[in-house]
Structure 1
Amino acid sequence: MSAINRLPVPYFELDETYQILNRSIVAKQAFKQADSFIDLLDIGSVDKVTRFLGKQENGKIELNMDTIEAPYVLHTLFANWDEECFHIICIKQDGNLTELIEKVQKQSRRLAQTDFELLEKKEELEESLSMIKQLSAPFISISAELAFVPFFGDLDDHLIKQNQGVISKNVYEADYDYLFFDFSGVGTITNLGLRELLRLVQALQIMGIETRVIGLRPEHAQLLRGNDIQKRAEFNGSLAEMIRKHM
């Protein structure tokens, strides 16, 4: 038995074109039969190995090799060039690429599950915020002719968009003559919120509904001064005053 066969590690002897001239018994047991060493590599390692061996220098690199036991096993390749051929020893690493891929896939599944859970939480939060917006502009019927919508919190475009459908539907079905918007509970008024409110007032006006704005604080009155909504809606004092006037 030759000394090569007795080597306790996978050993290959290659010519300068990477054809296998000889191999140890351990190499035969670990790798499939192949004429070229390149055939034992995964696709991603071929260029890496040919560049490395093409220098015809001594050294080592890591690469993935297709073994009998499993594909894509990570090895450290030790190479020595002796002017005629390469002497190659391949040492299997503790972990192989398959295990690494499985770990990555497992982590990806965990991240996907986390993303799904976050999406569910996001949807629950959006649903809660939507409910809050609906509760921030309740539609209250005062009489057969008059309805009342008190705003609570910041008057922004989300508040108006969330409630404009319900408001329009209610005034249409009940055939109200007047609709009061109460600003007593309003905090900040945004420009987008004011724009959406103007659109709602215009739509109500087309439906024959007269709108009244009540409960304005000084800072709100200053903001609304000169706005087109002044041409579309009447501005008055308190709810009690308006009820006495219309009841």
Structure 2
Amino acid sequence: MDTEYQFEGLPLPAFKLTKELKVLVSSQEAEKLFGPAALFKDLIDEGSLKKVEKLLKPENGSVRFEMNAVSASGGLLLADLYGKWQSDASWAVVVVPKEDNIERISQQLRRLQERLRETDYDLFQEKELSMQLLQRVRMLSAPSIRLDLDQMLIPLFGDLTAVKVEAVGDNVLKNIHDSHVETAIIDFTAVDQIEEEGLKLWNGLMQSLKVMGVECIVTGIKPAHAKRLHGLESTTVMRFASTLLEVLNEKSGSRL
């Protein structure tokens, strides 16, 4: 299967790279976001370059990590990189940009919390605003990213707690309902701890998606998550895949 055809219509920046990280093929979204490039390294911020060179090694097989890239306009872009070393001795790489709202609001929250420690001036008002921002950060911990007409990606960040699921649940259901997608890809790559109460509420959210007729595909499961999520499998229709890249390649292959 020709990678160039796999990348046709792919709604995320994607690349086929040599072992030396030379760009062989890039998707339309990649060229739109980063512009044309002969070397993948030219798209990476200097602070992330050593990480990219260290992790994109054939012996690592499949990788997923966070990096800073440089867009065609020269702006800094925080993104997750998913890569897989393929049988034709090349890298298949997908770059998933992160919403800058998360980082921007988190920085604003940290500044407010520092001010609260230093002074008691307008303490009540500052605390109220801090709580509102914290709630907003929780909601952005599960952004809904439309991949195409049929699929929506929901990457989760941080601990899966009852408070977080309550904060993001309605927003997730609304976005999926309004977009009429058939498949929700839930990515657990950036999830740390899964709390019992959070898991119960998450089970309820998955049941709601099932009633809506939405297929759920869970990716990025760590060994520590597997036992906890195994209990949901008996009551909720879910499919598991090792990486987001696997799901995207499967979708691209089905079009041929």
What's the TM-score, normalizing by structure 2?
0.49
Contact 2:203 2:232 in 1 (8 A): no
Mapping 1:26-175, distance limit 5 Å: 117-175=122-180
Q: Is the CA contact 1:180–1:214 (under 8 Å) kept in the aligned structure 2?
A: yes
Contact 1:136 1:151 in 2 (8 A): yes
Say if 2:225 is the partner of 1:197: no
Flag structure 1 segments of 5+ consecutive residues without an equivalent.
1-113
Q: How many angstroms apart in 2 are the aligned matches of 1:122 and 1:233?
A: 40
Secondary structure at 1:226 match in 2: helix
Q: Distance in 2 between matches of 1:214 and 1:176?
A: 18
* TM-score, structure 1 as length reference: 0.50
Aligned residues: 134
2:165–2:201 Cα contact (<8 Å) kept: yes
Distance 2:204 2:120 in 1: 38
Corresponding residue for residue 187 of structure 2 = 182
Identical-pair percentage: 30
**Could you tell me how far apart the structure 2 residues matched to 1:159 and 1:194 are?**
11
Q: Which has the larger radius of gyration?
A: 1
| Alpha-carbon distance in 2 for matches of 1:238, 1:229 | 22
Residue aligned with 1:208, SS: coil
Contact 1:133–1:159 at 8 Å: present in 2 too?
yes
Q: Which has the higher contact order (CA 8 A, sep 6+)?
A: 2
Aligned to 2:220: 215
CA distance in 2, matches of 1:148, 1:220: 19
Q: CA deviation at 1:118?
A: 3.4
Distance 1:224 1:198 in 2: 9
The alignment yields a C-alpha RMSD, in angstroms, of 2.1
Q: Would you say the 8 A contact 2:207–2:236 is kept in 1? A: no
Instruction: Report Cα offsets for 1:134-163 as digits up to 9, x if no partner.
Output: 221111000100000000111111211111
Q: Which runs of 5+ in 2 are unaligned?
A: 1-118
The CA deviation at 1:229 is 6.4
